Amino acid sequence: MAIATINPATGEKVATFEALTTAEIAAKLALAEQTYQQYRQTTFEQRSSWLKKAADILDRDQSKYAALMTLEMGKTYQSAIAEVKKCALVCRFYADKAAEFLAEEVVSSDATKSYLAYHPLGTILAVMPWNFPFWQVFRFAAPALMAGNVGLLKHASNVPQCALAIEKILLEAGFPEGAFQTLLISANQVADLVADDRVKAATLTGSEPAGASLAEIAGKNIKKTVLELGGSDPFIVLDSADLEAAATMAISSRMLNNGQSCIAAKRFIVQASVSDRFTELLLTKFQALTVGDPMSAETDIGPLATTSIREELDQQVQKAIQQGAKVLIGGKPITESAGNYYPPTLLTSIDQSSPTAQEEFFGPVAMLFTVPDLEAAISLSNHIPFGLGASAWTEKTDEQQLLIKEIEAGAVFINGMVKSDPRLPFGGIKRSGYGRELGKLGIREFVNIKTVWIR
């Protein structure tokens, strides 16, 4: 697979890169191992100062990094600015909190003293996606580096300049050479990397097939993995909900990142008594969205990241139509101009037992379902192979508690949009993956939780 920057708004190939050779990968692995032996001895205070410097660099050059993200994968410039700021936030969060999260924990036992110690593992491989090209990396790198590990990044092949920029940021911040290295490699070079004894664990955010492949290789080599995979998150609206607030947030959640987000609200599940009104509100808000140049402040939705993503999304929409779905707005690619543009699309009258109802649409396409009551809403929400997040809207406390208890997902947001937050663990269940990123649990995924017993 080519490693290249192709502007999704124009189709222009901006830059190409050669994949590292086997010898070059070996040299980087050797450097990572060598660096780790010294880096693991550094103090939390030293790592914290470097990570805070990285945050300062992100803030200082946010316009440059935002423009680079927009160039490589098409997200709107305004959302890219927000992404850079969030990366600075996660750096400062772990710079401040890592020592507390990894402090020794005394446990009462039959010993004179017993406690848990949290020690780094070594070199951790991160296989990261293109949709949030800075955020996905920094939410791995910040806790991993603060824990005393070193990182290797295999980024998506369509965002190579973002990948290289992140390594430069961390080097400029003061992290030693080899503490975090970007590997411009193809997908078929990952297996040997995971199998190498110097790589102690791996994390992947991406598709189910990619996650299954990585987990298989890691399993054969008895290595820890954390996987954050696909999602088809429900957005449940019950009859006590503030419909205007719910509809406004529904648009924000579904259209986030041009619709290319694992935790986007992809299935609107609405109680029948308010379905007509909610549909009317949604349709009005869909019609008001502006599709266009992602660098423009007036644009709500930019292009999809690649031509193949747009083609796959359209194939899903056309299949849904063939299976009986009705299109309330959108439904066909925008072909009047260059670029991978697809309009905001709202599908309804979808057979709940059809394959379409089980799928993830990775673009600005929403499915709208009507259900009679709360129990039916929960049943439909869980009737998918995924379990990443869920948003539910109701003012009734008893309904809120039942939703929290019964929805099968790694996160449930009541009267709010599903989002990642450095303070809160993030991850899924079922085919959405396992393990957690962020929060206290995130930094403890890639450490040796060591039991110490002393008499």
Q: Is 113 part of a structural domain of the chain?
A: yes
Closest by CA to 41, choosing from 103, 120, 141, 143, is 120
Find residue 326's DSSP bridge partners. 348
Average pLDDT over residues 52-58: 99
CATH number at residue 365: 3.40.309.10
Angle of CA points 79, 75, 93, to nearest 5°: 45
CB 39 within 8 A of CB 49: no
pLDDT band with cut points at 50, 70 and 90 for residue 370 = very high
CA Rg, the chain, in Å?
A: 23
Average pLDDT over residues 386-405: 98
Percent of the chain with pLDDT over 90: 99
Average pLDDT over residues 347-360: 94
pLDDT at 1: 57
Amino acid at 344: P
Q: Is 114 part of a structural domain of the chain?
A: yes
Q: Are residues 365 and 339 in the same domain?
A: yes
Convert the pLDDT of each residue in 105-142 to its tens digit: 999 999 999 999 999 999 999 999 999 999 999 999 99
- Name the DSSP letter for residue 384: S
Is 379 a residue whose pLDDT tops 80? Answer: yes
Instruction: State the DSSP H helix or E strand holding residue 91, giving kind and residue range, or none if neither.
Output: helix 77-101
Average pLDDT over residues 42-64: 98
Q: Are residues 438 and 337 in the same domain?
A: no
Q: Is 70 part of a structural domain of the chain?
A: yes
Burial 351-364 (b: 16+ CB within 10 A, else e): ebeeebbebbbbbb
Can you tell me whether residue 158 is helix, strand or coil?
Answer: coil
Is 59 a residue whose pLDDT tops 90? Answer: yes
Q: Is 426 part of a structural domain of the chain?
A: no
Strands 123-127 and 3-6: unpaired
Q: Are residues 141 and 266 in the same domain?
A: no
Give me the phi and psi of 23, to 5 degrees please: -65, -40
- Residue 199 has which token pair? 């790589």
Q: How many domains does the chain have?
A: 2
Q: Identify the sign of the CA torsion 3, 5, 8, 13.
A: negative
Q: How far apart are CA 377 and CA 392, in angstroms?
A: 10
- Name the DSSP letter for residue 118: E
pLDDT at 340: 98
Is 400 a residue whose pLDDT tops 70? Answer: yes
Q: Is 243 part of a structural domain of the chain?
A: yes
Convert the pLDDT of each residue in 210-253 to its tens digit: 999 999 999 999 999 999 999 999 999 999 999 999 999 999 99
Q: Are residues 193 and 264 in the same domain?
A: no
Q: Are residues 245 and 295 in the same domain?
A: yes
Q: Are residues 176 and 264 in the same domain?
A: no
Convert the pLDDT of each residue in 325-335 to its tens digit: 999 999 999 99
Beta-carbon contacts of residue 178 (< 8 Å; ≥ 6 apart)? 28, 31, 32, 34, 35, 36, 39, 150
Is 448 a residue whose pLDDT tops 80? Answer: yes
Q: Are residues 257 and 180 in the same domain?
A: no
Can you tell me whether residue 296 is helix, strand or coil?
Answer: coil
Q: Are residues 362 and 261 in the same domain?
A: yes
Is 180 a residue whose pLDDT tops 70? Answer: yes
Q: How far apart are CA 92 and CA 137, in angstroms?
A: 15
pLDDT at 117: 98
Is 2 a residue whose pLDDT tops 90? Answer: no
pLDDT band with cut points at 50, 70 and 90 for residue 337 = confident
Q: How far apart are CA 386 and CA 267, in angstroms?
A: 12
pLDDT at 106: 98
Q: Is 427 part of a structural domain of the chain?
A: no
pLDDT at 25: 98
Average pLDDT over residues 148-173: 98
Q: Are residues 326 and 414 in the same domain?
A: yes
Q: Mean pLDDT over all residues of the chain?
A: 97
Closest by CA to 374, choosing from 405, 332, 420, is 405
Q: How far apart are CA 33 and CA 122, in angstroms?
A: 7
Average pLDDT over residues 393-403: 98
Q: Are residues 249 and 165 in the same domain?
A: no
Q: Are residues 245 and 352 in the same domain?
A: yes
Q: Are residues 300 and 287 in the same domain?
A: yes
Is 40 a residue whose pLDDT tops 60? Answer: yes
CB 132 within 8 A of CB 83: yes
Q: How far apart are CA 276 and CA 424, in angstroms?
A: 35
Q: Is 16 part of a structural domain of the chain?
A: yes
Domain of 297 in residue numbering reads as: 233-421
Q: How far apart are CA 455 and CA 451, in angstroms?
A: 14
What is the CB neighbour count within 10 angstroms for residue 67? 15
Beta-carbon contacts of residue 188 (< 8 Å; ≥ 6 apart)? none
Q: How far apart are CA 5 and CA 11, in angstroms?
A: 10
Active-site positions? 228, 262
CATH number at residue 211: 3.40.605.10
